[in-house]
Amino acid sequence: MLPAIQTNLSSFAPISLAEMDNVKLMDRTDTKYTFPYGRLTEILSLIQDKYSILVVEGVRINRYETLYFDTVDLLLYHLHHSGKLNRYKVRHRTYVESKIGFLEVKFKNNKGRTFKTRIKQNAVCYEFNEEQQQNFIHNKTPYQSSDLKPVIWVNYNRITLVNKTSAERLTIDLNLEFKRDGSSIIHHDLVIAEVKQDGKAYSPFIETMKKLHLREGSISKYCLGIALTYPNVKKNSFKPKIHSIKNLLNNDSTASS
C-alpha cells in the first residue's frame, strides 16, 4: 500500500532531522484523528503546500518500533482505561532508518498537556539493569523500574510533516502492528494522525479535516494494542472507540467498492 502514496509525498519539500530541532515539542498539546487509508491521498494533496516532510537516509516513510512497559497487572493501561489524567507511558522506541533508540517516558497532566522525556538507548532494553535506566524511571515516574515489564510491541510506518510557518508537527501512522507472544495483528487500512503543537493554534491539517468532515478523536495506540491482544483485559471504556474505528473502515470499504 505504501508505494501508492509515494507520488504525493514527493510533492512535499524535504526537511532534515537537524532542521527539526525547533519543533521537538516535548511539552505540547495533541490533537488526534483516525481515518481510513483510502482518504490519505486526498488529504495529502490538500496540505502539500503547507508542510515540509522529514526525510531520513533518503526515506520519507520511516519505520518506528516501540516496546511498551507496564506492571504485571497492567496498571498504566487501566489508569488510562478509567480516564485518569496525570498518567504515564514507558517505552523504548527505535527509529529504524537512523538506527537510533531512546528510553522514553510520556506524561499527560490534568490540563491535557503531554510531556515527553527520554534518554538515548540504542539497544532495546527488555529489563532495566543499568543504573542510568533505573534512575531515569525513578525520577520521571512514580514507579520502580523493577515493577515494569515488557508487555507489547507497537510498530508502524510514520510520515512526519512540519508546518512551514509555525511550531507544529503532524505525524501520520500507517500499517499499525501489534506484536505479543510471537503473534501479531496488522491494520493496513487504518491511519492515525496526530497534530502536535505548543498550544491550540491554527493548523492547515485540522482545517482540512473539518472541511472533509473527518472528526477529531482517537484511541491510544498502546491501549488499542492491549485491548486487542489481551483477551481478558478490561476494555469496556474503549469498546465504543474500537467499534467506531471498525465502522469507519467498513463504511470506507463499502463506499470504495
* pLDDT for the residue 257: 43
Cell of 92: 523504548
| pLDDT tops 80 at residue 4 | no
- What residues make up the domain containing 77? 2-256
Q: Write 102-108 long-range contacts (CB < 8 A, 24+).
A: 103/133, 103/136, 105/136, 105/137, 105/140, 105/141, 107/140, 107/141
How does pLDDT run across 33-64, given as a tens digit for each residue? 999 999 999 999 999 999 999 999 899 999 99
For the chain, list the strands marked E by DSSP.
Answer: 13-15, 27-36, 51-54, 62-70, 87-95, 100-108, 114-120, 149-163, 168-180, 183-187, 190-197
Count of structural domains within the chain = 1
Q: Is the dihedral of CA 18, 23, 28, 31 positive or negative?
A: negative
CA 80/CA 138 separation, integer angstroms: 20
3-state SS class at 249: helix
- What would the mean pLDDT of 124-144 be, rounded to a whole number? 95
- pLDDT tens digits along 143-159: 999 999 999 999 999 99
**DSSP β-bridge partners for residue 90:** 69, 105
CATH number where 162 lies: 2.40.320.10
Is the pTM here over 0.85, yes or no? yes
Would you state the pLDDT for residue 25?
Answer: 55
